[in-house]
Amino acid sequence: MAGHSKYKNIMYRKGAQDKKRSTLFSKLSREITVAAKAGLPDPDMNARLRSAVIAARAQSMPNDNIKRAIDKASGSDMENYEEIRYEGFGPAGVALIVETLTDNRNRTATNVRLAFSKNGGNLGAPGSVSHGFDRLGLISYPAGAGDADTVFEAALEAGADDVESGEEGHSVWTAPESLHEVAKALEASLGAPEGIKLAWRPQTHAPVDEAEATTLIKLIDALEDDDDVQTVWGNYEISDEVMEKLA
């Protein structure tokens, strides 16, 4: 287990989502509903639902919205959503994994393909990039949860595998099968996390310069603007200096 002093820029800054609050709530509601339908409607008895509710609360989603999303799972008008993963390449050969929840496979495939082709990317075949990622559990904490040493010690005690800490917060990595057990242990020592999810962690990172980063962010924005897209993972690494310019 190793602690890293510099937070890896794996996902596009969370601040970008603040401009898309309505779209974000729609995605969170969809995940809550699907999670509730897949198991029990009680977050304490349904690990996936608990993760979805935590993510929603971290984004200040009203409790009434969360309750409606859970209740919708037992309603007759519940859409049948399918989980589909797309893989492709962005500018500079950056590898991207796009996770979707859709009730129309053809619509989603078309939209994802267009987003790639219009923004310097290429949609690949299943498995074309995922072999360069590890499927892991990810528990996210804000910087205010504690300093790097405090979070590292708590994660070590909880049975986590790795920790990345930086100004933006802390990422605690664990084996998928240990995700919720480790999360519960961390909650006892650090409080409720910002997020608990299964994630794609790149085995290597691809440095991206300013020109490439501009196009890459347009591609990620285009994907995230699609209601069917839940999460975009990538192996890109953009320097703080470039991110400040683009901001």
Could you read off the pLDDT of 32-71 as tens digits, one per residue? 999 999 888 999 889 899 999 999 998 899 999 999 999 9
CATH number for the region 3-8+136-202 comes to 3.30.70.980
- Say what the pTM is: 0.86
Strands 95-102 and 229-234: antiparallel
pLDDT band for position 143 (50/70/90)? very high
Per-residue pLDDT at 117 exceeds 50: yes
Q: Which helix (H) or strand (E) holds 216?
A: helix 210-224
Task: Report the pLDDT value the prediction gives residue 115, as an integer from 0 to 100.
Answer: 97
**Measured distance CA(66)–CA(71) in Å, rounded:** 9
Please identify which residue in the block is written with the tokens 């509730």. Answer: 36
133: number of Cβ within 10 Å: 19
CA distance 149 to 179: 21
Answer yes or no: are the C-beta atoms of 133 and 203 closer than 8 Å.
yes
What pLDDT score does 209 carry? 92
Domain ranges of the chain: 3-8+136-202, 15-72, 83-131+204-246
Architecture of 15-72 per CATH? Orthogonal Bundle (1.10)
Average pLDDT for the chain: 89
Q: Of 180, 86, 97, which is closest to residue 138 (Cα–Cα)?
A: 180
76-91 pLDDT, tens digit each: 666 788 999 999 999 9
How many whole angstroms separate alpha carbon 2 and alpha carbon 193? 20
- Above 50 in pLDDT, residue 7? no
pLDDT value for 240: 82
Query: What fold characterizes domain 83-131+204-246?
Result: Alpha-Beta Plaits (3.30.70)
The DSSP H or E segment spanning 169 is: strand 169-174
Q: Which two tokens stand for residue 233?
A: 């993972």
3-8+136-202 and 15-72 agree in CATH topology: no
Does pLDDT of 10 surpass 60?
Answer: no
pLDDT of residue 18: 53
What pLDDT, on the 0 to 100 scale, is given for residue 6?
A: 40
Q: How confident is the model at residue 218 (pLDDT cuts 50, 70, 90)?
A: very high
Rg (CA), the chain: 18
